[in-house]
Amino acid sequence: MPQKPPTFPIPSPTSPPPPTTNDLAERHAYLALALLEQLGPHRLAALFSHFGSAQAVLSASSAQLQSVGGIPTAVISAIRSTNAEAIPAFLDEAAAAGQMLLVPPSPDFPAALRSIPDPPVLLWARGALHLLDAPAVAIVGSRDHSRYGEEIARELAIVAARAGIAVVSGMARGLDAVAHQGALDVGGPTIGVLGCGVDVMYPRQNAELFRRMYLEGLLVSEHSPGQRPDSPGAFPRRNRLISGLAQVTVVVEAAEGSGTMLTVNSALEQGREVLVVPGPVNSRTSRGTNRLLRDGATPLLEPTELLRLFGARVSAPAAAAREVPPCTLSPTEARVFAALGPVGMHVDELALVVGLPVGELLATLLGLEIGGLAQSLPGAQYRRAARA
């Protein structure tokens, strides 16, 4: 056991983004390919490695695609029939529904997910996109929980959220819902990772929580809108994103064999810190967590220990809730409005995020500024107006 726990620096929203492509056509080509769910991340990586760019993949003949190997005929047909020119209209439609599509070539894609062993090729988001820049802790536990587990999960979420640390969990019944609710109740940041589309309310018991997460927090998923949570492996794959988005994973309460252990395994594979809350030795719902402690996991004995992991001076105002874009906005205006946050973003970076030429983006920003929804800053930066 290390005598001194590691600390995790809080990412600065003004830090320079990772290298990205400024070619809008290449971004649209990447999106067109990434949206082919039958392609998958491994085949997509093989194609990019072979052809060098997304545009080259879309321009390749059937024979050239077959030469890569391991690409079924049906997938080749899907690639050949893909139209990247339809992407802007597709993004407009998604933005009108409050949905943002994030991809690794763009600076808005979560930096924390770029380095995990199996990163998603895209991420759908609905809500306060800027929460992806916050330091984050995953608070996880069983659907079947005790009153003790509920109290601890809520307390941890409140302590973290008040310090500006985003609470990440899986929007499931039980302790996931408790953690999200605790953060929301103090006006703090929280991110829900779904095993279905960001527009699919699941489970139905969490209908009110789903509404609040969309209005006040952030929902993310690698599944396309409308996708039900019935695809094989949806939840194990979701769990790797829960731990991947966070610097620390806290296991509050879990019985032996609980699905929570999948998140623990993902966190360890990703090199993330895992903390475990001890439970009563005679409690069935704590047998899994107590076994983790017996096997050498680090115990979390009080909430303030969590804050120390993030540094002695973790402090941030409670996250401002992102509103749904006003219904009077055009699809393009809604997309730009949804991408703006409280921190200024350079117009070139914003153009990549929303997928617009700079000239069209500037015209859209001017309209939002006249309407009191956007504010221009020195250095060609823009942010959401304070009252918006």
In tens, the pLDDT along 294-347 reads: 999 999 998 888 888 887 444 443 333 344 455 567 878 888 887 787 767 788
pLDDT, one tens digit per residue, over 210-238 is: 999 988 999 999 998 888 887 656 677 89
> Which residues are CB-neighbours of 181 under 8 A, at least 6 positions away?
154, 157, 209
C-alpha dihedral (266, 247, 324, 207), degrees to nearest 10 = 50
- Under CATH, which architecture does the 127-309 domain have? 3-Layer(aba) Sandwich (3.40)
pLDDT for the residue numbered 11: 31
What residues does CATH 1.10.10.10 cover in the chain?
Answer: 331-384
Dmax of the chain from CA atoms? Answer: 65
pLDDT at residue 164 above 80? yes
From CA 314, how far away is CA 316, in angstroms rounded? 7
**The predicted structure's pLDDT at residue 103:** 85
The token pair at 257 is 């064999």
Looking at residue 325, what DSSP letter applies?
P
Q: Output the pLDDT for position 197.
A: 92
Q: In the chain, list all ranges with CATH 3.40.50.450.
A: 127-309
- The CATH code that applies to domain 331-384 is 1.10.10.10
Query: Between 2.60.40, 1.10.150, 2.30.42, 1.20.1630, what CATH number should domain 22-82 receive?
Result: 1.10.150
For residue 31, pLDDT beyond 70: yes
Does this model's pTM top 0.85? My answer is: no
Residues of the chain with CATH 1.10.150: 22-82
Joined tokens for residue 345: 């973003």
* Mean pLDDT, range 241-259, rounded to an integer: 94
Our measurement of the distance from residue 155's CA atom to the centroid of its chain's CA atoms, rounded to an integer in Å, reads 23
Long-range contacts of 235-239 (CB under 8 A, 24+ apart): 235/170, 235/195, 235/259, 235/262, 236/262, 237/195, 238/170, 238/193, 238/194, 238/195, 239/170, 239/263, 239/266
